[in-house]
Amino acid sequence: MKIHLNSLGCRLNEAELEQWATDFTSAGDHVTSSVDDADVIVMNTCAVTKEAVRKSRQRTQRLQRTNPAAKLVISGCYSSLESPEALAELGVDLVVPNTEKDQLVARTREAFKQPNMPEGATQPAESALFRRNRHRAFIKIQDGCRYRCTFCIVTVARGAERSRSISDIVQEVNNLQKNDIQEIVLTGVHVGGYGSDLDTDLFNLVKTLLDETDMPRIRFASVEPWDLSDDFLTLFENTRVMPHMHLPLQSGCDTVLRRMARRCKTADYSALVNELKTAFPAFNVTTDLIVGFPGETEAEWQTTLEYLTSMQFGHMHIFSYSEREGTKAATLPNPVPKPLRQARSQTLHKLAAQQKQQHLSDQLGQTTDVLWERGEPMADGGFKHFGYTPNYSRVQTVSAVNISNQIRPTRLDAVEGDTLVGINL
């Protein structure tokens, strides 16, 4: 069968998509980027906000209209929270719940199997990731979350924590490296909770990946700050573990954090960031923030703003609070008016832009390794490349030859917009 894969939302959804692509290919099916050619369309949805729900519904409808003859398979958080009747109206042929995502390929092939063996089953195939010319792979290491932050619908949709075995993850990483993948990102709903159901933890997983694979670069997706033990920080002494972490803060005010049921105080967060940056000066911390959470007073907002001004983030992912039915936060009193949420968001975006510019400027004159991810041919015969430093700063350069998928020492000479300009050495 010809399979078209589509995704909306988090890196975990992207990791699942990559795994399905590999599994479909291994089973003899062909993964196509064209919706028109597909026999089956698989859509991995999101429901983290109302806007994500709207986009999931809209994209599913568009995919169905583009190729109404194709079978439509839907999974992800939106499909797990929406009613079967509403999904049927979208033309969905098969719904695979979040708790059964590891069976999606088998269930899809069983539901829509063809009597004859596909031609691709008799041909050697590279991984779908490599064919799509990607140099970074998202590795799903676990699913589900034990915590119940009051604003989060994803933990309701994803269910209890379930971890993949270390041996399974090691095998996947080694297979990806054979196809020239240079960097992996470990993803999940609760990455820091990895192994809670297997009598192991994230520290041991990374140590094993360092020992049993030669993957040049290992990164982490979003990790809750309270999940990092003292020995975890020693992982960054190995230069294959990239000095960047996305540590969601959500608010810079402790009273708001309590209403969110977050397990971290601002003082503890600051101490962790300072420890990371003291031990590893190039370390880049990025974060998530919610503005306009129910009950957020002007005094609490000012506390958040002052706290964030004292920090130095490489990037802030900023959300205006959005009510989600089924979460505790949606029932909290004193909602912040939407115009005020938007105004606070705009203020925070300005601060985020200032801090990002400072973060980039602080790196000028340094020499660091850059993974060059793609090359765009130029009129003079050279190539314009974009890539990322170990601390996940975006860099561009011009090269006489194509250096795609190469890790090269680079001197950081200038800043253009939100991108560094580098010279290959």
The domain in which residue 49 lies consists of: 2-122
CA 274 from centre of chain:
24
- Domain CATH for 352: 3.80.30.20
Please identify, among 65, 99, 122, the residue that sits at the C-terminal boundary of a domain: 122
| Same domain? 94 vs 221 | no
Q: What are the C-alpha distances in Å from 228 to residues 223, 258, 264?
A: 8, 20, 12
Two structure tokens written together for 140:
């799903």
Q: What are the C-alpha distances in Å from 85 to residues 65, 326, 374?
A: 18, 19, 43
- Domain CATH for 69: 3.40.50.12160
According to the model, what pLDDT value does residue 27 have?
Answer: 82
According to the model, what pLDDT value does residue 124 have?
Answer: 36
Q: Is the pTM of this model over 0.85?
A: no
pLDDT tens digits for 197-218? 999 999 999 999 999 999 999 9
| Strand locations in 225-362 (E) | 244-246, 284-291, 315-320
pLDDT tens digits for 93-152? 899 988 888 889 989 988 886 544 343 333 333 444 433 446 888 899 998 888 889 998
| Same domain? 357 vs 371 | no
Q: What are phi and psi of 123, to 5 degrees?
A: -115, 140
Two structure tokens written together for 171:
């095998």
Please identify, among 122, 144, 171, the residue that sits at the C-terminal boundary of a domain: 122
Two structure tokens written together for 289:
């923030």
pLDDT tens digits for 159-188? 788 999 999 999 999 999 998 899 999 999
| Same domain? 286 vs 348 | yes
Q: Give the residue from 86, 78, 36 showing the smallest Cα distance to 55.
A: 78
Residue 361 has pLDDT above 80, yes or no: yes
3-state secondary structure of 108: helix
The angle formed by the CA atoms of residues 386, 389 and 392, to the nearest 5 degrees, is 95
74 touches 95 (CB < 8 A)? yes
Residue 322 has pLDDT above 80, yes or no: yes
Average pLDDT, the chain: 89
pLDDT tens digits for 290-313? 999 999 999 999 999 999 999 999
According to the model, what pLDDT value does residue 134 have?
Answer: 67
Residue 351 has pLDDT above 50, yes or no: yes
Domains contained in the chain, number: 3
Q: What is the C-alpha to C-alpha distance for residues 393 and 191, in angstroms, rounded to an integer? A: 22
Please identify, among 122, 145, 164, the residue that sits at the C-terminal boundary of a domain: 122
Residue 331 has pLDDT above 90, yes or no: yes
